[in-house]
Amino acid sequence: MNLTRLVYYSQRNPSEDLDINSLIETCKRNNPRQNLTGLLHYNGDHFIQVIEGGRVEVSALYHRIARDPRHSNIILLSCTDVRERMFPTWSMALHQGMDSQTRKVFLRYFATDMMNPEAVNVDTLLDVLQDLMMETPTKLTISV
């Protein structure tokens, strides 16, 4: 089985209710059965998510997300086979908010703290997400 990493960006649909903790609990319950792992960054306005696992399982999850009315303007940033997982032990970690620490990490890599999903280098974005995990642990909720 090929190991696949998918990265997408979407905006939150403000007309739909969102309980982010319930969403993460659902991931915690469902993802281990599919051997899916990853990280979701949510700043209150947009999502950036990394999903890792088998190609079929990652594709199926992405298609469910793309149909989810809580998302709008979804942009697939990358979908590629990889040699190893970045998040091997997390059914789905959640990084929330855009406080001063998070902003500092974004500004290390981007000209502003607002990432342009149409122009972002995915490798740079993955570096940002890894730095957020290490440098802003109080903003991280880990589901194993």
**Most confident stretch, 3-7, 18-22, 134-138:** 3-7
Is there a contact between 13 and 72 (Cβ–Cβ < 8 Å)? Answer: yes
pLDDT value at residue 77: 96
Q: Which residue shows structure tokens 């947009």?
A: 46
Per-residue model confidence as pLDDT tens digits over 4-16: 999 999 999 989 8
Per-residue model confidence as pLDDT tens digits over 93-136: 888 878 888 889 989 998 887 878 888 899 999 999 998 888 87
Distance (Å) of CA 32 to CA 2, 3, 41, 90, 119 = 17, 15, 19, 9, 32
Per-residue model confidence as pLDDT tens digits over 36-87: 999 998 888 889 999 999 999 999 999 999 999 999 999 999 999 999 999 8
Give all domains of the chain, ordered by start, each with its CATH number.
3-97 (3.30.70.100)
Q: How confident is the model at residue 91 (pLDDT cuts 50, 70, 90)?
A: confident
Q: How confident is the model at residue 140 (pLDDT cuts 50, 70, 90)?
A: low
DSSP strand pairing (3-12 vs 37-42): unpaired
pLDDT value at residue 143: 54
pLDDT value at residue 142: 60
* Distance between CA atoms of residues 34 and 12, nearest Å: 25
pLDDT value at residue 27: 84
pLDDT value at residue 59: 96
Sheet holding 93-96, edge to edge: 71-81, 3-12, 46-54, 37-42, 93-96, 140-141
Q: Which residue shows structure tokens 């209150």?
A: 44
Q: Which residue shows structure tokens 């406080």?
A: 99
pLDDT value at residue 139: 62
Using only C-alpha atoms, the chain has a radius of gyration, in whole angstroms, of: 14
